[in-house]
Amino acid sequence: MSSGPVIMKFGGTSVGDAEAIGRLVRHIVTARQRGGVVVVVSALSKVTDRLLQLASFAAAGDEAAIQAGVTELEERHARVVREVAHNPEVLLATISRELAELRNLLHAVATLKDASPRTRDAIAAFGELLSSRIVVGACEASGLPAVWADPRRILVTNDTFGAALPLTEETRAAAASELRPALDAHRIPVVGGYVGATVGGVTTTLGRGGSDYSAAIFGAVLEAREIQIWTDVDGMMTADPRVVSETHVVPRLSFEEASELAYFGAKVLHPSTILPAVAKAIPVRILNSRRTEGAGTLITADSPVDEPLAALACKRHVTVVDITSTRMLMAHGFLRRVFEVFERCRTPIDVVCTSEVSISVTIDDDTRLQELTEELSTFADVRVEREMAILCAVGDGLRRDPQLAPRILGSLGQFPLRMVSQAASRRNVTVVLQDAAAAAAMVHLHAAFFARHVAAPAAVEGVA
Ligand code: ADP
Ligand code: ASP
Ligand code: MG
């Protein structure tokens, strides 16, 4: 096992208020007894939503809404600081300074009436920059040698604002100079997730939910011994707990299973989180920050569990686009042209089903749908169906048991399925159906495959 640090990432609800931050500090105290720790934190819960909303108010020139919004943010952060810090004055001054900067930025946007993705990133970053300072204050109040680390000096990314990609070698070098010395001095670096900067120092973000991804990137470049994702549920559950009430924790998952679940909507993990972990074979563990007991979900290269299916995931409110060739294009020429249009419109496709003359795809992001359909219509008939959902059953067991996929589809007999697909990995069976039917279909499938399942506790070491 690597002797690197443990990366402990705490999501928004785990830093939501003073009580949650108190629990977080106790988890760090426990983990620290086993070796080095790097803490990655999200913004206080709902703060990123609020910041992005303020960016939109600013773009609309609504000065009054900006002023009220920043004041409300200042009050919320100040309240938490007073409750968690021993000497709140210095921290309160730092927070006031940061928020004065935010006010200026929003004012500039309101004057120009324009919030580019670059500006929105600069605004959204304030959430993590503030929360991480508060967590340092709370750690210090408990006698922990925490030190604030600036993610804009560590996580080096490209300039795709709003969905920036990490530049691994640059980040590795920056982490070596910004985080290593603190770790070597037995200190605890606390760094905001989600936020990075370009080589030229312009602030970027990794996209919504990106703090998990930050934690995994830091884990990979520091050769961490484990990446822990502390959140508000007991681990990866057998289905989305907001949809199905009787879910269980999945004790073990393979990297591939976890990736597929995250990609198809299991929000507990950002879809890119597993990638850096795979590269260095670093275990990823999902844990409940509200509890000290429970081993959570352990994600490793291979999962020893023999269950047929690992879990279900769903992606709601997606759009299906049916594209039928109007010309006598050869199939390969047709597919190429279709995919080129999606590429040009920078719209990712999630599920694809195809015949020689027609292709159906699902898209999550429909901001450029108009442009897409116009371009596709130059060589195809296009039909759009909104309010659809993707339902996905994932498990390495699908590779072992050829009867499993037909059983899954058979059990969904009462639901009209619009698309059905099983990708080359043969780790998932994916169906597309009307969104209005998605919750019932998920509950039904869960009852058929997981109802009697009792999760065995994972016999693994290293849980805080
Ligand atoms: P955090 O703020 O800690 O990053 P998120 O809200 O991003 O937390 O992710 C946790 C939420 O993910 C849970 O509260 C749950 O509602 C949702 N979720 C969706 N699918 C799953 C799943 N299969 N297992 C666990 N949680 C899930
Ligand atoms: N605070 C960011 C968001 O809400 C990143 C994260 O929490 O992972 O999207
Ligand atoms: Mg999250």
| 11-15, 318-322, 325-329: segment of lowest average pLDDT | 325-329
Residue 306 pLDDT greater than 80, yes or no: no
Residues 322-362 pLDDT 10s = 999 886 666 678 888 999 999 999 999 999 998 878 999 99
Backbone angles phi, psi at 413, to 5 degrees: -50, -35
Residue 453 banded pLDDT, cuts 50, 70, 90 = very low
Residues 108-124 pLDDT 10s = 999 999 899 999 999 99
- Regarding the beta carbon of 127 and ligand 2, being less than 6 Å apart is answered yes
Residue 228 pLDDT greater than 60, yes or no: yes
If DSSP states are collapsed to H, E and C, what string results for the chain? Answer: CCCCCEEEEECHHHHCCHHHHHHHHHHHHHHHCCCCEEEEECCCCCHHHHHHHHHHHHHCCCHHHHHHHHHHHHHHHHHHHHHHCCCHHHHHHHHHHHHHHHHHHHHHHHHHCCCCHHHHHHHHCHHHHHHHHHHHHHHHHCCCCEEEECHHHCCEECCCCCCCCECHHHHHHHHHHHCHHHHHCCCEEEEECCEEECCCCCEEECCCCCHHHHHHHHHHHCCCCEEEEEECCCCCECCCCCCCCCCCECCEEEHHHHHHHHHCCCCCCCCCCHHHHHHHCCCEEEEECCCCCCCCEEEECCCCCCCCCCEEEEEEEEEEEEEEECCCCCHHHHHHHHHHHHHHCCCCEEEEEECCCEEEEEECCCCCHHHHHHHHCCCEEEEEEEEEEEEEEECCHHHHCCCHHHHHHHHCCCCCCCEEECCCCCCEEEEEEEHHHHHHHHHHHHHHHHCCCCCCCCCCCCCC
Q: Do residues 300 and 283 lie in contact, with contact meaning Cβ atoms separated by under 8 Å?
A: yes
Residue 219 pLDDT greater than 80, yes or no: yes
- Quote the CA–CA distance of 192 and 135 in Å, as a whole number: 10
At 329 the pLDDT is 62
At 2 the pLDDT is 59
Whole-model pTM: value is 0.93
Mutation choice for ligand 2 from 15, 44, 130, 194, CB with most ligand atoms inside 8 A: 194
> Which is nearest to 270 in space by CA: 248, 246, 286, 281?
286
Q: Do residues 102 and 70 lie in contact, with contact meaning Cβ atoms separated by under 8 Å?
A: yes
Number of the ligand closest to the Cα of 194: 2
Residue 3 pLDDT greater than 90, yes or no: no
Residue 277 banded pLDDT, cuts 50, 70, 90 = very high
Q: Which atom of ligand 2 is nearest to the CA of 214?
A: 8
At 293 the pLDDT is 82
| 298-302, 317-321, 449-453: segment of lowest average pLDDT | 449-453
Average pLDDT over residues 389-405: 94
At 338 the pLDDT is 93
| 128-132, 288-292, 386-390: segment of lowest average pLDDT | 288-292
> Which is nearest to 223 in space by CA: 41, 38, 28?
38
Residues 80-109 pLDDT 10s = 999 999 989 999 999 999 999 999 999 999
- Regarding the beta carbon of 12 and ligand 2, being less than 6 Å apart is answered yes
At 333 the pLDDT is 83
Nearest CA to ligand 2 atom 5: 209
Q: Provide the residue type at 322 as one letter.
A: D
Mutation choice for ligand 1 from 231, 263, 270, 312, CB with most ligand atoms inside 8 A: 231
Please tell me the distance between residue 402's alpha carbon and the centre of ligand 1 in angstroms: 31
Average pLDDT over residues 118-141: 98
Number of the ligand closest to the Cα of 206: 2
**Strand duo 188-192 + 146-149: pairing:** parallel
Residues 236-276 pLDDT 10s = 999 999 999 999 999 999 999 999 999 999 999 999 999 99
Q: Which two tokens stand for residue 174?
A: 């920056």
Average pLDDT over residues 450-460: 54
Q: Do residues 427 and 257 lie in contact, with contact meaning Cβ atoms separated by under 8 Å?
A: yes
Per cent of the chain over pLDDT 90 is 87
Q: How many CB atoms lie within 10 A of CB 165?
A: 15
- Quote the CA–CA distance of 299 and 313 in Å, as a whole number: 17
Question: How high is the mean pLDDT of the chain?
Answer: 93
Number of the ligand closest to the Cα of 232: 1
At 423 the pLDDT is 81
Residue 426 pLDDT greater than 90, yes or no: no
> Which is nearest to 154 in space by CA: 101, 192, 98, 208?
192
- Regarding the beta carbon of 234 and ligand 1, being less than 6 Å apart is answered no
Please tell me the distance between residue 248's alpha carbon and the centre of ligand 2 in angstroms: 25
Residues 36-87 pLDDT 10s = 999 999 999 999 999 999 999 999 999 999 999 999 999 999 999 999 999 8
> Which is nearest to 62 in space by CA: 116, 113, 101?
113
Average pLDDT over residues 145-149: 98
Residue 462 pLDDT greater than 60, yes or no: no
Q: Provide the residue type at 267 as one letter.
A: K
Average pLDDT over residues 161-171: 97
- Quote the CA–CA distance of 444 and 48 in Å, as a whole number: 35
